[in-house]
Amino acid sequence: MAFDPNAAATESSNIFGLPDTRDDASIVLIPCPYDATSSYGVGSANAPEAIREASSQVDLFDRRFGAIYERGLFMEPHPPEVREWSRQARVLAEPIIEQGGSRAGDEDAVSQVDGLSRRAASFVYDRAIAAMDEGKVPGLIGGEHGVAFGLYKAIAHRHPGVGILQIDAHMDLRPAFEGFAWSHASVMHNVVYDLDGVSRIIQVGIRDYCEQEANLAESLAPDKAPDGETQILTYFWDDLADERVGGGSWGVACERMINLLPSEIIISVDIDGLDPTLCPHTGTPVPGGLNWDQLSLLLKMIKESDRTVVGFDLVEVCPSKIPGSSPIDASIGARVLYRLCGCV
Ligand SMILES: [Mn+2]
């Protein structure tokens, strides 16, 4: 039966209701249902399957991005083993997070949690390498932000000099958080100190951070970073907001950010970078952030720029666990995901 992009999705179809097999696809979506170190709300381990389900409601025609589906999109099957690592790690991590961080005597539990988090990141690394070996672009669906380290590592090996555009409320530059070195709050710290090949991180939407992180970012600014070290450029949300209150244009701000990116880039969307009305159940919602139109313009300008998107991730989406409640988180997540595919 021929595929009709105007028709409703059928139950047996792949993500976005598409008929594509892995062989037909130019983009491979990697689900990583792992969520151990979320400090506040948990549930991003449920995101890949909730986004898969919500994606059948996304209309495939997109005026701005064209026929995204024609590129061929394939989402890998749900990996139950990762879900099990997440469950084991959460059981160990929860009492430590509840007491406000690790104490003497918690060393064994902390190292087991870090070990499981590393295993989830290696899972992502292996899947991303496999996709690139087949000439496909990898896109990660988390899970917590920490697992994206595996994606960054795989891409940095294949595309040295790659840059990361990080849309996030948080800098994620903590050396460890609540005792966990492989936590969601440390992913970019680990990129800087445990990974070669990422030339620059541009952070947008940042509005919740500690002084240590701000100082680290400052010391890694392009004019200060030691030779060969990953550079960091932070666009604090309050500065971007003030600029617009003063009559400045968001498009001009986007152009400035895109111009500072190297030619090959990874787009990382931590959903909490967006206004919390777009992700009400995410682990650490923070007021402010990009609204839908601002995200759309930024992604459209990236697509129209001469930058090449060699991978992307969508992390920290948290579907509501209350039965019958609004599917808004997964539904917006699915739409962000579709446009990320459109940037490739
Ligand atoms: Mn993050």
Report d(CA 222, CA 220) in Å as an integer. Answer: 6
Q: How many CB atoms are located within 10 Å of the residue 212 CB? A: 13
- Rounded distance from Cα 339 to ligand 1 centre (Å): 19
Q: Which residues pair with 204 in a beta bridge?
A: 167, 235
Q: From the CA of 267, how far away is ligand 1's center (Å)?
A: 12
Q: What is the pLDDT of residue 41?
A: 64
Direct distance between the N- and C-terminal alpha carbons of the chain, in angstroms, rounded to an integer = 28
The amino acid occupying position 215 is N
Task: Give residue 12 CA to ligand 1 midpoint distance, Å.
Answer: 33
Helices (H), the chain: 47-54, 80-98, 107-133, 148-158, 187-194, 211-219, 237-245, 250-259, 292-304, 328-343
- The β-bridge partners of 163 are 200, 265
| Cα 10 to averaged position of ligand 1 atoms, centre (Å) | 34
Q: What is the DSSP string of 159-219?
A: STTEEEEEE-SB----S-BTTBTTSGGGHHHHHHHH-SSEEEEEEEEE-B--HHHHHHHHH
Residue 20 neighbours by CB under 8 Å, 6+ apart: 14, 72, 73, 74
Task: Report the separation in Å between the CA atom of 147 and the middle of ligand 1, taken as the mean of its atom positions.
Answer: 11
Ligand 1: centre distance to CA 176 (Å): 13
CA of 83 to the centre of ligand 1 (A): 20
∠ CA 211-192-100, nearest 5°, is: 45
Ligand 1 centroid–CA 336 distance in Å is 16
Determine the topology of domain 21-343 in CATH: Arginase; Chain A (3.40.800)
Residues with Cβ within 8 Å of residue 178, at least 6 apart in sequence: 37, 39, 96, 97, 100, 101, 102
pLDDT value at position 304? 96
- What is the rounded CA–CA span in Å between residue 72 and residue 30? 14
d(CA 23, ligand 1 centre) in Å: 32
- pLDDT of amino acid 3: 81
User: How high is the pLDDT of residue 268?
Assistant: 98
Query: What is the Å distance from ligand 1's center to 80 Cα?
Result: 24
CA distance readout (Å), 148 to 95, 109, 127, 183:
25, 22, 12, 11
- Distance between Cα 162 and ligand 1 center (Å): 19
Ligand 1: centre distance to CA 343 (Å): 20
pLDDT given at position 12: 62
**Where do the structural domains in the chain lie, given as residue ranges?**
21-343
The rounded Å distance from CA 146 to ligand 1 centre is 8
pTM passes above 0.75 = yes
Residue 274 Cα to ligand 1 midpoint, Å, equals 11
Rg of the chain taking only CA atoms, in angstroms: 19
Ligand 1 centroid – CA 14 distance (Å): 28
Q: How far is the CA of 68 from the centre of ligand 1 (A)?
A: 26
The whole-angstrom distance between residue 9's C-alpha and the CA centroid of its chain comes to 26
**H or E segment to which residue 8 belongs:** none
CA distance 2 to 86: 39
For 140, the token pair is 């990660």
Structure tokens at 139: 């896109």
Structure tokens, 178: 């609540």
Count of C-beta atoms within a 10 Å radius of residue 284: 18
- CA triple 332-263-205, angle to 5 deg: 40
Residues 71 and 139: their CA atoms lie apart, in Å, by 14
Which tokens hold the place of 290? 């990009």
| Model pLDDT for residues 107-153, shown as the tens digit of each residue | 999 999 999 999 999 999 999 999 999 999 999 999 999 999 999 99
Could you tell me if 169 and 206 are in contact, meaning their C-beta atoms sit under 8 angstroms apart? Answer: yes
pLDDT at res. 11: 64
Residues 6+ apart with CB under 8 A from 173: 186, 188, 189, 192, 209, 212, 213, 216, 217, 232
Q: How far is the CA of 224 from the centre of ligand 1 (A)?
A: 24
Parts of the chain with a pLDDT under 70: 1, 11-12, 39-41
The DSSP symbol for 74 reads: E
Distance from Cα 145 to the centre of ligand 1, integer Å: 5
Between the CA of 171 and the centroid of ligand 1 the distance, in Å, is: 7
What's the gap in Å between 320 CA and the centre of ligand 1? 19
Tokens describing residue 167: 């849309």
207 alpha carbon – ligand 1 mean position (Å): 12
